Structure 1
Amino acid sequence: MKRAGSAMMWILGLGFVSAAHATDACSPVAISTKANVSVSDGTSYKTATHYHSASSSAFEQIDDDGSSLIVVEGPVAWARSGDKIVRGSEFHKLFAFGHQYHAFILYFDEIMANVEEVESFAFRGETFRARSGDYPYGGKAHMVMGDGILPRGFQFDFPEIPPITVVLSNWKKKRGVDLPYALLIDDGTRQFDYKYTDVKIKSRLPLWFYDEIASPGFDDVEIYRVHRKLLAAHCLGDADMIADLSLEETIVASRGEVLFAPREQTRERFIGLFDALNYTAYTDLITPQIEVAESGDIGWITVQVRAEGNVVGSERTFDDQWAWVMMIKKQDGEWRHAGNASNRKEKSK
C-alpha cells in the first residue's frame, strides 16, 4: 500500500528543485540532454546524457557504427557497446559523470566536496573568480564565473592528464533558469563542439533512472538497485514496494531485538510507519560495499545512510544516521531483501 497521494504530491509540490543531495535515493532531480558534437579531428557524433545523482548518471555516444553507453551506479561502472556489456573502471565513472555539465551548473555545491571561493583563477589565458571543489572520483573541479551571474565555464584538473576546459555559450531560459545550449571542450589534444538539441530539467519520481537505463544484469548492480529502491520507497510511502522487494520471510536484527517477519507483516509494519513518518530524503553517506557469495545466490551490502523527514501531523522533524548490513538472496532469478542487522547513531545530548 502506498501513502494516499504521495507520488503525485512528490511531483506537484516541487516545481524546480534548487538543491539536491548528491547521493539521495529520493531525489526528484532528472536532467537529460541530447547534443550534436563536432570534433577538431573531423569526426562527429551525437550524445545523450541522463543525470539523477552523483551515484546515478549515464553517457551515450551515437555514430554511424552504432551506440555506446557508459553508466555509473554507486560503486559500480559498466559499459554497453552494441550487444556487448562489460564492467567499467574508475575511468568509466569519471567519464559518465564528467559529461553532466548542466547538473554541475545547477548543483555544483551539492555535487563537489569542500567547495570554496577562489578570487583569482587562471582560465584560458584570463583571470576570473571561481568556485572550486573536490571532484567525486578524484581531482578538482572549478566553476569559472563570468562578469555576471552566469558561469563562463569549467576546468577539471585530474591526475596525470592536462587540464580539461569547458566554455559555455548560447544561454537559453529553461523552466525559468538560464542554461547553455552550446559548449566547447578542450582536453589538451582535441576540441569538442557541442550543440544541444534538447535539454530536459524535470522533477520526476525517484526511480526514473532505472526506467531509462535497463540493468546490465550484473549481480552487484542488481543488489545496489534493490538497496536504492528500498530507500526511495520510504519517501514514496510505498509499503507494497518494500514487501515486493523482500522474501516471504525476512529477519531483522536491530535495537537489541531479532524480528522474524512474514511478507504481509512487513507490509503492515511499513504502512504503520508511513502513517506516522514522512520521509523526505534518504542519502548514502558512503559508497555502499557489495559482496556476492561464490554460489551466486546470496549477497550482502553494507551501507551508512542519513534519513530525513518529519512526523505526520506535527512540526517535529527527524534527521537520523543509520548503518546496516543487508542480506540479499536470489530467488527465481530476482534479488530480494532477506534481512538486515542495523543500528542508529546516538545523538549527542
Structure 2
Amino acid sequence: MTAEPSGAAEPFDAAVRTVLRAASARELFGPPGPAHRERARARYRELARAVHPDQAPPGRRAEATEAFTRLAARWAEHCLAAAVGTDEEFTLRTARGEYRVEARPEASGEMADLFPARRAGDDERLLLKLPRGADCNDLMATEAEALTLLHTGGDPRFRPYAPRLVETFRHRDGDDGTERRANVLQRLDGFRSLAEVRDAFPGGVDPRDAAWMWRRLLVGIGWAHRAGVIHGAVLPEHVLIHPDDHGLALVDWCYAVVRTGRITAIVSRYADWYPPEVAERRPAVPATDIALATRCMVELIGERIPPEMRAFARGCSLPAAERRPKDAWRLLAEFDDLLDRLYGPRVFRPFALP
C-alpha cells in the first residue's frame, strides 16, 4: 500500500512510526517517475520537517536522528529509482565498465548513500556511492583524489587501511537531468564501524581490546599523512574494524584535505568533536586527525579507561593544534610504551561483538 501526502504536518510520533515502518521508498513516496515527482517531494519535505532532530521533543533527539537517517535513505532510494526508471536492480554502464546495482541503499551517511553493486565480468562485490545532491560533487571528487593518492603514492603495505577506488564518473539523473559525481568503491566485507562497537558495549570496551584498534587507527592516519592526505573526519562511523582479523579501515574520504588546506565540510551531528582549528577555519594538520581519533577511542572505552591512558589522550586533545602530537608514527611508539607499562608483552586477544 502506498502512503499518500496527508496535506498537513504529521505529529512527531506518527511521522517516526511512518518512516521506521516503511519497508521501501514506494511506501513513503509512491511510485517513481515524472508524473509523481512533485507529490513525492512534498511528502519528503513534510516528513523531514516532522522528524528533523532539531525539532524533536525534549529527550527524543535519538529517535528523531534514527528516523531522519532512515528517511534520507528512503529518499535516496526513491530518487535513484526515478533516475533509472525502476526501484529494482538495474544496469549502469560507464566508460570503464558495466555494473549491476541494487536500487536500495545499503548504508546512508551525512550527504551520500551506498548502493550494493557487482561488476559485470568478474562479479566483484562493490559499492556505488552517490551524493544526494549536486552540491556535494566537490566532496565526491575530493574522495576520489584522496583515495587515488593513497593507493598510488602511499606506502603499498598499508593499502588495506582504505577502500580501493574502482572508478569515478558523472551520473546524469533521467528524472530531472541533475548531474552527480559517483564513486565506485571496494566493498569491505566483515567490517563493523566503531559506532556499532560502541553500541554493542554500552559500558565501554575493555581497554586491552581497544588497544589494538587504537594502534591500527594510528597506523592508518599515519599512512595517510605520509602520503599527503588529512582524513578530516575520523569519526565512529568512518572507522571500521574487522573483529576476527583485527583489521581496520578508514572510510568516507569526502571530507579529506589533500596536501594542504582547511576542512570545508563537517559531519553536523559530530560538530562538537572537531578541534578548534576547524571552526576557526584554519588549515587542517595531522594533529587534527589525531585529536579526532583520540576522541573516538576515549568514547569507545568510556569509564573503563585507565588513568594513564586518559592522561595520554588528554595530551592528544589539547586545544592548540601546535601543542598536540603531529606525527602519528611517533605517537604509536609512545602508545606502545604505555601499553607495555600497563599490560606487559602484547598477546592476541580474540574479539567478538555480541
Name the TM-score, length of structure 1 as normaliser.
0.28
Structure number with higher relative contact order (C-alpha < 8 Å, ≥ 6 residues apart):
1
Higher strand share: 1
Name the TM-score, length of structure 2 as normaliser.
0.27
